[in-house]
Amino acid sequence: MAPEIEDLLDEKGRELARKKRQPAWTAPMLAVLADETFSDPDWIFERKLDGERCLVFKSGSRIRLRSRNKKELNDTYPELVDALEKQPIERFIADGEIVAFERSVTSFARLQARIGIKDPNEARRSGVAVTLYLFDLLHCDGYDLTALPLRSRKSLLKRLLEFRGRVRYTPHRKGAGEKTHREACRKGWEGVIAKRGDGKYVHARSKDWLKFKCVNRQEFVVGGYTDPQGSRVGLGALLVGYNEDGDLRYAGKVGTGYDRETLRDLAGRLRKKERKKPPFSAVRPIPKGVHWVTPDLVVEIGFTEWTEDGRLRHPRFLGIRTDKDPKTIERERPGRR
C-alpha cells in the first residue's frame, strides 16, 4: 500500500482498504430525512450545506468535477479545478458540496448565478465566489476506502489533502446532535447531517446518513404554470409535484420567491415544453390560465408544512436544480434510525 496511506491506517484499516482501480464514476451516498433530532456518541454531526453536490475525481493532473447525476461541472467552477490540480495526492475520489456565501450563510439562491454556466470565462466573470467543502474520501492512490468507517475516511481526507483557499474540510461534532441542530437553526443554516461514525460509504440512500432540517424544503418537478396577472411578468405561479407509485402527484402552486429576471427565464424555458394534457395524476381545482408542460424541470421549494390533503403550505421558489433527475424526485418522508 502507498506509504502515505499505510502509515495513517491501523491494522483493521489495512484489512478494509481494498486494492482496486479507480473508477470513472461512482454514485454518491444520500441521506434520509430524520423524524426527530437526537444525540449519540456513535454518530457525528456536520453542517448541512446549501449548495450543489460534487464528486471530485483526480487522476494525475486531470480533474473531473461531477454532479450527483453525472453532469460535468468543470466549466461551471473552473477556479475549483485550478485549486484541486495543486493537491499533493495524485489519484483520489472525494465527496463534497459547492457553495456560495451570503455573509456567513451558504446561499443556494446566490449559487444560482453560477449553476448552468458552460463557459469558464463567463463563470469567472460572474462575481459569485464559490467554495468546495469536502467531507468524505472514497478512493485514494489505487485503494477503495469505502469499507472503512466514516471516522477513518474523514481522518484520511483531512491528513492527505491540503485545505486552503477555495477547498475546505467539512468539520464535525461528535455526539451532540440536538445542540448542534439548535445552533444551526439559530445561525440561519439549512440544518445538520447526522452520520454513523463507523458506517461504510454506500452508493445509495441510507439511514446511516440523516438530515435534520431547520426549514422544510425539497425538490419538486414542474408540471405547469399559470399566466401572469397585473404587472407581473413571465408567469403567475408554478404547478409542482413529485413521483409516487408511478404517478406524478400534484403538490400545489408556487407563486412567491421570484425576481423579474427569474420569472422571464422560467417562462422562456416552460413555453418550449407546453403540452395539451396535464402530467399530474389529478389536479383539483384546475387553476385559471394554466399551461401544462412536460415534467422535466426540477426546482427547489421552501414551505412551512404539508397540509392533510397533500399540498404545500406557504411555498416559495428557491431555485432551479440541474443536478437532479426529475424521475427520482419523491416526497421526503421521515425515516427512523
Q: Which residues are annotated as catalytic?
A: 48
DSSP class of 333: -
Total count of domains within the chain: 2
Is the pLDDT reported for residue 2 higher than 50?
no
Last residue of one domain, picked from the residues 178, 213, 248: 213
Residue 335 has a pLDDT of 80
Residue 161 and residue 41 share a domain: yes
Q: What angle do CA 82, 83, 85 make, to 5 degrees?
A: 70
Last residue of one domain, picked from the residues 150, 181, 213: 213
Distance CA 212, CA 332 (A): 12
Cβ atoms of residues 54 and 67 within 8 Å: yes
* Residue 185 included in any domain: yes
Name the grid cell of 173. 461534532
Instruction: Give the residue-averaged pLDDT of 264-289.
Output: 94
Residue 187 and residue 58 share a domain: yes
The enclosing domain of 168 has a CATH number of 3.30.470.30
Residue 77 and residue 178 share a domain: yes
Is the pLDDT reported for residue 94 higher than 80?
yes
Instruction: Give the residue-averaged pLDDT of 64-76.
Output: 97
Residue 181 and residue 229 share a domain: no
Residue 189 and residue 136 share a domain: yes
* Residue 315 included in any domain: yes
Cβ atoms of residues 220 and 251 within 8 Å: yes
Q: How far is CA 109 from CA 95, 97, 188, in A?
A: 22, 15, 14
* Residue 336 included in any domain: no
Residue 204 and residue 142 share a domain: yes
* Residue 183 included in any domain: yes
The enclosing domain of 297 has a CATH number of 2.40.50.140
Residue 253 and residue 193 share a domain: no
Q: What's the chain's average pLDDT?
A: 95
Assess whether the previous peptide bond of 285 is cis (omega < 30° from 0): yes
Residue 142 and residue 37 share a domain: yes
Residue 205 has a pLDDT of 96
Confidence of residue 302 (pLDDT cuts 50, 70, 90): very high
Residue 185 and residue 72 share a domain: yes
Name the grid cell of 1. 500500500
The gap from C-alpha 214 to its chain's centroid, in whole angstroms, comes to 16
Last residue of one domain, picked from the residues 171, 189, 213: 213
* Residue 334 included in any domain: no
Residue 116 has a pLDDT of 84
Residue 87 and residue 186 share a domain: yes
Give the structural domain span for 168: 3-213
User: Quick one: what percent of the chain has pLDDT higher than 90?
Assistant: 90
Residue 187 and residue 272 share a domain: no
Q: What is the pLDDT of residues 209-223, one digit of tens each?
A: 999 999 899 999 999
Residue 48 and residue 13 share a domain: yes
Cβ atoms of residues 270 and 254 within 8 Å: no
pTM over 0.85: yes
Cβ atoms of residues 166 and 83 within 8 Å: yes
* Residue 251 included in any domain: yes
Residue 336 has a pLDDT of 67
